[in-house]
Amino acid sequence: MKKIGITGQQGFIGTHLYNTIGLFSEEFERIEFERNYFENSEKLDAFVSQCDVIVHLAAMNRHNNPEVIYSTNINLVKKLIASLERTNSKAHILIASSTQEEKDNLYGKSKKEGRELLIQWASKTGAIFSGLIIPNVFGPFGKPYYNSVVATFSHQIANNEEPKINVDGEMKLIYVGELATEIINKIRKNKSEFQYVVPHTSKAKVSEVLHLLKKYKAEYQDKGEIPIINNTFELNLFNTFRCYMDIANYFPVKFTQHTDSRGSFVEIIRLGIGGQVSFSTTVPEITRGNHFHTRKVERFAVIKGKALIQLRRIGTDEVLDFYLDGEEPAYVDMPIWYTHNIKNIGDEILYTNFWINEAYNPNDADTYFEEV
């Protein structure tokens, strides 16, 4: 079992990589890293000495003074190398560099020179080193105005703000989940590649991304409809957008009931894509679920009875409680990377309609069990 540590564990890419590695608990063990380790050589040495693999993600992306970015990123690499030398570590080191390397800016210069410093260390010690040149990364939970334009636009649109395009250039993009898979594959390969250009998985102009995000706002956030999703990029972008909504106050969403002398009629879901619809009954006090998905879009609709639906984002402690009652039929959608469950809290059988955007495949279920 390889022991893997991630500098920058709490950052955008670091969080996703940490959580994804956790899905392979029989293959990898995660070594915890905290930001203050770079300020304490003893703690940093203790961390480094435990690791078979270190993924160096810690870096500064933005600052009012580019010189601060440059000096910060170079110093972080130097501190890591000093610790590797003090501990005589032969760990496989991977560094996340950027396609900004070739641009005339101090951020790109810091990434390139940091990678070159680690190449020198690896060449001298015979250690394995992977220098990853990464395109623009997007995905859920990125920091607006910091990590990517997708994060900024998603935050602004979900909060009814109007984004502005400064330069409508074409972006080469990779979804953070795809990047995590690339990094894990390099760890498994366990061979030096001093300069590996991570291939982008999609290309889009800034205006095209903005158009799609506004479409998701109008159709999904405003109307509750699942939009047409044409490819994996659009699914990843849709799942990214959903995570910037204020889900604690957005759900549960009440259905529109059409009632006459015959009874009532409720439209459960309007779809631009297919998927699988299921129906369940749950006896009182029973809980279903306690699992999460990394790509699936899922809706729980309570039709009859009383239910408690709970959500908790993986890696956090806050639990969101949603109380639903079939007297006022409503639904809650499950964001990716949120473990969730549903419990019958009433005295009668609970009737629930479940929709998910892809049919269940036991060989690729995208279902990971964890208590809320």
* Whole-number Å distance between alpha carbons of 48 and 54: 8
Average pLDDT for the chain:
96
Pick the CATH number of 2-145+166-202 from 3.90.1300.10, 3.30.420.40, 3.40.50.300, 3.40.50.720: 3.40.50.720
* Whole-number Å distance between alpha carbons of 309 and 4: 34
Using DSSP, state whether 45 is helix, strand or coil: helix
Residue 229 has pLDDT above 90, yes or no: yes
CA-nearest of 156, 313, 196, 296 to 236 is: 296
The residue whose two tokens read 């810690």 is 58
Dihedrals phi, psi of 291, to nearest 5 degrees: -150, 170
Over pLDDT 70: what percentage of the chain?
100
Using DSSP, state whether 232 is helix, strand or coil: helix
pLDDT at 260: 79
> What's the mean pLDDT in 172-195?
97
Q: Tell me the pairing of strands 257-260 and 263-266.
A: antiparallel
pLDDT at 170: 96
CA–CA distances in Å: residue 94 to residues 90, 250, 267, 331, 367: 12, 40, 50, 43, 29
Under CATH, which number does the domain 250-369 receive?
2.60.120.10
* Residue 41 confidence class, pLDDT cut points 50, 70, 90: very high
* Domain span(s) for CATH 3.40.50.720 in the chain: 2-145+166-202
Measured distance between the N- and C-terminal CA atoms of the chain, rounded to whole angstroms: 27
Residue 102 has pLDDT above 90, yes or no: no
Residue 267 has pLDDT above 90, yes or no: no
CA-nearest of 295, 316, 293, 321 to 306 is: 321
pLDDT at 32: 98
Sign for the CA dihedral angle at 113, 115, 121, 122 comes to: negative
Sign for the CA dihedral angle at 219, 225, 226, 227 comes to: negative
List, in sequence order, every residue forming a beta bridge with 299; answer none if it has no partner.
333, 355
* Domain span(s) for CATH 2.60.120.10 in the chain: 250-369
* Whole-number Å distance between alpha carbons of 297 and 151: 19
Residue 359 has pLDDT above 90, yes or no: no
CA dihedral in degrees (280, 371, 271, 219; nearest 10)? 140
pLDDT at 293: 98
pLDDT at 34: 96
Sign for the CA dihedral angle at 209, 211, 214, 216 comes to: negative
Token reading at 117: 């410093």
> What's the mean pLDDT in 55-59?
97
Burial (CB count <10 Å: 0-12, 13-18, 19+), residue 371? exposed
pLDDT tens per residue, range 230-266: 999 999 999 999 999 999 999 999 998 888 788 778 8
pLDDT at 259: 85
* Whole-number Å distance between alpha carbons of 296 and 356: 7
Q: What is the DSSP letter of 154?
A: H
Token reading at 279: 């129906």
The residue whose two tokens read 């890591």 is 80
* Residue 104 confidence class, pLDDT cut points 50, 70, 90: confident
Residue 79 has pLDDT above 90, yes or no: yes
Q: What is the DSSP letter of 202?
A: E
Over pLDDT 90: what percentage of the chain?
93
Q: Which residue has the higher pLDDT, 104 or 346?
A: 346
Q: Which residue has the higher pLDDT, 273 or 365?
A: 365
With helix as H, strand as E and coil as C, how does 53-114 read? EEEECCCCCCCCCHHHHHHHHHHHHHHHHHHHHHCCCCCEEEEEEEHHHHCCCHHHHHHHHH
CB atoms within 10 A of CB 259: 9
Residue 336 CA to its chain's centroid (Å): 8
CA dihedral in degrees (296, 299, 305, 309; nearest 10)? 60
pLDDT at 62: 86
